[in-house]
Amino acid sequence: MSYSIIGSGNIGSAVARAFARIDVPVRVANARGVEAVARLVDEIGPQVEPAELSDALAADVVILAVPFEAVQGLAERVADWSGRIIVDATNAIDYTDFSPADLGGRPSSDLVADWATNARVVKAFGHTWARVLAREPGDGRGGRRVLFLSGNHADANAEIAALIDRMGFEPIDLGRNDQGGLLQQFGGPLTTRSFVSQAIGGSNPAEMDLVDP
C-alpha cells in the first residue's frame, strides 16, 4: 500500500509526522514543487519523501490537505481513480467571514467524489486542530485521542480506520457522508472538538468505570 499527502501546511505536516512515528513511508507534494516540501524531510526524517504532484496523485491512498477550492482541479487531473482511496482532510470555508462554504446542503466529501471519478472518498484528519493532530496520540493517562472518519464505502472506511489505529489514535467511523460527513466537516458539531477514548472496566454495569492507567 502506497501513501501520499498533497499539501504540506499544518494539517499535511501533522499527518506526515503521524506516518513517521509508525515508520511508514509517505510521499508529500504541493503545488510549489519538490523543493517546497524538502524542509519536511529535514524536520521529520527519511520516511517523508518529497514528490512531484503527478507521482503523489498515483498513490493507492491520497490524502488531500489543501484548500478546498483546489480539490476539483487536483481530482480531475486523474481520469479514473478506480481501486484507490482519497482521504479528504480539507475544510470548505468561506474566508470572507470564516464561515462554512455554501455547498447547497451537500457533504463536502460527496463533492470530492463527484470530481474524482470512481474514487472511494473517506473524510478524515480534518475535524480537529492541526496542533492536536500533531501531538502524541496517547493522552498520557491510558486514553487515545479520537479521530473521526466517514465515507460511503465501508471497505475504504475500514482501511482508513485501520491506518488511524496503527498511528495510535482511536478511529470512530461515523458512517456515510450524508450523516457522519456533515457532523465532522467545517461548521458541523464535531468541528475543532478534541475527544479522548478511555477503557471502561468492571464486572457488571453498576461497577463500570474508567480504567486507571
* Tens-place pLDDT, residues 47-86: 999 999 999 999 999 999 999 999 999 999 999 999 999 9
What is the number of other CB atoms lying within 10 angstroms of the CB of residue 43?
Answer: 12
Asked whether residue 91 is assigned to any structural domain, the reply reads: yes
Asked whether residue 93 is assigned to any structural domain, the reply reads: yes
Does residue 97 register a pLDDT over 60? yes
pLDDT value at position 201?
65
Asked whether residue 84 is assigned to any structural domain, the reply reads: yes
Asked whether residue 153 is assigned to any structural domain, the reply reads: yes
Asked whether residue 160 is assigned to any structural domain, the reply reads: yes
Is the pTM higher than 0.85?
Answer: yes
Cα distances from 34 to residues 23, 37, 65, 66, 84, in angstroms, run 21, 5, 16, 16, 23
Asked whether residue 213 is assigned to any structural domain, the reply reads: no
- Which segment of 74-78, 172-176, 193-197 scores lowest on mean pLDDT? 193-197
Domain that holds residue 39: 3-197
What is the residue type of 74?
Answer: L
Asked whether residue 202 is assigned to any structural domain, the reply reads: no
| Nine-digit cell string for 98 | 470564516
Asked whether residue 149 is assigned to any structural domain, the reply reads: yes
Q: Which residue has the cell 474514487?
A: 119
Q: pLDDT band for position 138 (50/70/90)?
A: confident
- Most confident by average pLDDT, 172-181, 187-196, 200-209: 172-181
- Most confident by average pLDDT, 41-50, 100-109, 145-154, 175-184: 145-154
Residue 88 near residue 123 (C-beta atoms within 8 A): yes
Q: pLDDT band for position 137 (50/70/90)?
A: confident
Please tell me the distance from the alpha carbon of residue 1 to that of residue 156, in angstroms, as a whole number.
13
Q: pLDDT band for position 149 (50/70/90)?
A: very high
Q: Provide the CATH number for the domain around residue 132.
A: 3.40.50.720
Q: Higher pLDDT residue, 150 or 206? A: 150
Q: pLDDT band for position 33 (50/70/90)?
A: confident
Q: What is the number of residues in the chain?
A: 213
Question: Domain tally for the chain?
Answer: 1
Q: What is the 3-state secondary structure (H, E, C) of the chain?
A: CCEEEECCCHHHHHHHHHHHHCCCCEEEECCCCHHHHHHHHHHHCCCEEECCHHHHCCCCEEEECCCHHHHHHHHCCCCCCCCCEEEECCCCEECCCCEECCCCCCCHHHHHHHHCCCCEEEEECCCCCHHHHCCCCECCCCCEEEEEEEECCHHHHHHHHHHHHHCCCEEEECCCHHHHHHHHCCCCCCCCCCCEECCEECCCHHHCEECCC
Residue 150 near residue 180 (C-beta atoms within 8 A): yes
pLDDT value at position 31?
82
Does residue 23 register a pLDDT over 80? yes
Does residue 206 register a pLDDT over 70? no
